[in-house]
Amino acid sequence: MKRALLIVLVMGVVSAGLFAQSEGDRRVVVASKKFTESVILGELVTQVLRAEGTEVRHRRELGGSRVLFSGLTRGDIDAYPEYTGTLMGELLVDENLRTLDHLRTSLESRAIRMSDPIGFNNTYAVGVTRETAERLNLETISDLADHPEIRMGFSNEFMERADGWPGLRDAYGLENPARGMDHDLAYRGLQSGDIGAMDLYATDAEIEYYDLVVLEDDLGYFPRYDAVVLWRADLEDRLPSAGGAIRLLEGAIDESAMAAMNRLAKIGPTNADGEDGPRVPASLVAQEFLEGEFDLQTEAFVETRRAVLVRTTIDHLELVAWSMAGAILFSIPLGIVAAKQKKLAQPILWCVGILQTMPSLALLVLLIPAFGLSPLTAIVALFLYSLLPIVRNTYSGLTNIPGDVTESAIAIGLTPWQRMKDVELPLALPTILAGIKTAVVINVGTATLAALIGVGGYGQPILTGIRLDDFGLILLGAGPAAIMAIGAQLLFDGFERLAVSRGLRL
């Protein structure tokens, strides 16, 4: 047992040191949401700031608007691209802002600055396939009210936004069934017929690629969603030229230019024969635009898949090692207390059970206000999610020891501590290890969600693969995660063979 605890402590210390090192390197952090256009815009901001001679990190494919806006106000990130309609209709909807001047004043009160519009209005829209539009004679969103049988598939964020599905449904009197799904996967659902309509962004490259029909917003429900860049006021204290560099993008990109960049990154260029070429990395798309538009020589980083695998493996190992170290050190004593203090047993088991039943994504988001968009948020979430199997198995292992064994230990004069150390814990160890193995397998899989707050791990290539419809990238994250889970199980199996006598093994 002492040797096991020492190994866990060493893992925790090494992991903490690695996280401290990565956070210590932080200079300027630009973030983007988990759709292609936001990643391209984030890369444009990153490169114009990098051209000023500063070190800039681009945290790609974070969660929704509220996650990024919260991260900006907290100081976890320094800048990110946003849309005026999202700010006025969702993030600051309670303030009833009507003009860009009002919006800018509200943001300034939060020590946040906003660029002028970048040049394009990426408004929401509702789209259907051309076959559906022609068969049902659909031209406007109002026409959908005559076809309540059409199933809607909207992005998860759109399902809950104040300016999303709830308001759209009420404005148009729609009774269609709707469900939330990933925006990029919705295109597949539309093509396969699983859904009949979906939310679109006006500059989505898929609209032209799939020959979709955009239904007219005949009631004028959707506001303008002019793309802008938000940044912290104190960024200009660290980098005085930051504001000027970001403002270089003002009015520089119209709808057609943005749609063209989205197509390059999401689908790829079209050659002379009308065939699609390989997708262009977002960083190169941004670099080519800045060079062509402003003759600005910037630095773009493109990771090979091998480099992505190495980086995400290190990130994932750190998350799992640190959270499991804490879970083991906390859960085993908690399980001992539950076994020895009968009045506390049910409250302890009930509490850790409640944590386990909470959806892992919800738990992660609930911790953001306390810990921000940092590795600590993911570590705490994974720690809490790992408690139940270890606590319950520790409790079960100790309470299921035969009574005559305990009585014999008392009879030979062993103290409670001696009984625990020399008799009870060794007998319960196989059951405890079974709980740890269950917890570590759950932990490895759940850690992929850490990519939603930009702290890496195997979830990052999975999210990118979903966004780009690239099964290779999805497997680059999912495959190693499965291998890591199996490897962790084999590691603890080996430890069990060393620490537990053959007759006691489960």
Name the segment(s) of the chain with CATH classification 1.10.3720.10. 304-504
Name the segment(s) of the chain with CATH classification 3.40.190.10. 27-119+225-294
- Residue 105 pLDDT level (bands cut at 50, 70, 90): very high
E strand or H helix at 452: none
Say yes or no: domain 27-119+225-294 is CATH 3.40.50.2300.
no
CA 221/CA 217 separation, integer angstroms: 7
Mean pLDDT of 12-36: 63
What fold, for 124-215? D-Maltodextrin-Binding Protein; domain 2 (3.40.190)
Q: Are strands 124-129 and 197-201 parallel, antiparallel or unpaired?
A: antiparallel
* Alpha-helix residue ranges (DSSP H) falling in 173-251: 183-192, 205-209, 235-238, 242-247
Residue 64 has pLDDT above 90, yes or no: no
Nearest CA among 433, 425, 401, 402 for reference residue 497: 433
Which position has the higher pLDDT, 275 or 395?
Answer: 395
pLDDT at 413: 80
CA 343/CA 101 separation, integer angstroms: 61
The SS3 assignment for 228 reads strand
Q: Which residues contact 500 (CB under 8 A, 6 or more apart)?
A: 426, 429, 430, 433
The alpha-carbon radius of gyration of the chain (Å, integer) is 27
Mean pLDDT of 383-388: 94
pLDDT digits (tens, 9 = 90+) for 229-256: 999 999 998 899 999 999 999 999 999 9
Contact yes or no for 439/327 (Cβ under 8 A): yes
pLDDT digits (tens, 9 = 90+) for 424-483: 888 888 899 999 999 999 999 999 999 988 888 999 999 999 888 889 999 999 999 999
How high does pLDDT run on average in the chain? 89
* DSSP per-residue letters across 339-356: HH-HHHHHHHHHHHHHHH
Contact yes or no for 95/89 (Cβ under 8 A): no
CA 168/CA 172 separation, integer angstroms: 6
Class of domain 304-504: mainly alpha
Strand boundaries in 130-185, DSSP class E: 152-155, 178-181
Name the segment(s) of the chain with CATH classification 3.40.190.120. 124-215
CA 108/CA 112 separation, integer angstroms: 5
Residue 264 has pLDDT above 70, yes or no: yes
pLDDT at 115: 97
Per 3-state DSSP, the chain is made up of helix, strand and coil in percentages (nearest 5) of 65, 10, 25
State the Cα torsion 457-462-467-469 to the nearest 10°.
150
